[in-house]
Amino acid sequence: MPLDPTAAELLAAVQASPRAVAAHDRAAWVGLFGADAAVNDPVGSRPHIGRAAIERFYDTFIGPNTITFQVDHDFVSPPTVVRDLLIQTTMSTGATVVVPMHLRYDLVEEDGVWKITRLAAHWELAAMIMQLLRTGLPGLAAALKLGPQLIANQGLDGAAGMMRGLLGVGRAGKRVATRFLSAAAATDIGRVRGMLDHNSVIELPAGTPISVEQFTNRVRNMKWDKLIAAGREVSASVDFDTIHGVAIIEFATGATRITAIRIFTDA
Among residues 150, 166, 182, the one where a domain terminates is 166
Strand partners, 49: 38
- Give the per-residue pLDDT at 228: 98
CATH code at position 240: 3.10.450.50
Per residue in 208-266, pLDDT (tens digit) is 999 999 999 999 999 999 999 999 999 999 999 899 999 999 999 877 799 999 999 98
Whether 175 and 91 map to the same domain: the answer is: no
Q: Residue 215: count other Cβ atoms within 10 Å of its Cβ.
A: 19
Spacing of C-alpha 43 from chain mean position: 7
Indicate the DSSP class of residue 104: E
- Give the per-residue pLDDT at 247: 98
What is the β-pairing status of strands 243-251 and 258-265?
A: antiparallel
**How far apart are the C-alpha atoms of 61 and 263, rounded to whole Å?**
29
**How far apart are the C-alpha atoms of 137 and 144, rounded to whole Å?**
10
Whether 157 and 219 map to the same domain: the answer is: no
Per residue in 37-67, pLDDT (tens digit) is 999 999 999 999 999 999 999 999 999 999 9
**3 state DSSP class of 206:** coil
pLDDT of residue 69 exceeding 80 = yes
pLDDT of residue 2 exceeding 60 = no
Domain that holds residue 220: 170-265
Alpha helices in 5-107 (DSSP H): 5-22, 26-30, 51-57
- Residue 83: phi and psi, rounded to 5, are -115, 135
Whether 40 and 125 map to the same domain: the answer is: yes
Residue 218's contacts (CB-CB under 8 Å, 6 or more residues apart) are: 204, 210, 240, 241
- Give the per-residue pLDDT at 159: 81
Whether 52 and 75 map to the same domain: the answer is: yes
Whether 124 and 229 map to the same domain: the answer is: no
Among residues 166, 181, 199, the one where a domain terminates is 166
Among residues 121, 151, 166, the one where a domain terminates is 166
Whether 230 and 104 map to the same domain: the answer is: no
- Residue 254: phi and psi, rounded to 5, are 70, 15
Q: How far lies 126's CA from each of 48, 164, 167, in Å?
A: 20, 11, 9
How many structural domains compose the chain?
2
Whether 113 and 136 map to the same domain: the answer is: yes
Whether 148 and 232 map to the same domain: the answer is: no
Whether 25 and 146 map to the same domain: the answer is: yes
Give 150's pLDDT tier (boundaries 50, 70, 90): confident
Whether 104 and 231 map to the same domain: the answer is: no
Whether 145 and 189 map to the same domain: the answer is: no
Whether 157 and 192 map to the same domain: the answer is: no
Give 3's pLDDT tier (boundaries 50, 70, 90): low
Q: Are 162 and 154 within 8 A, CB to CB? A: yes
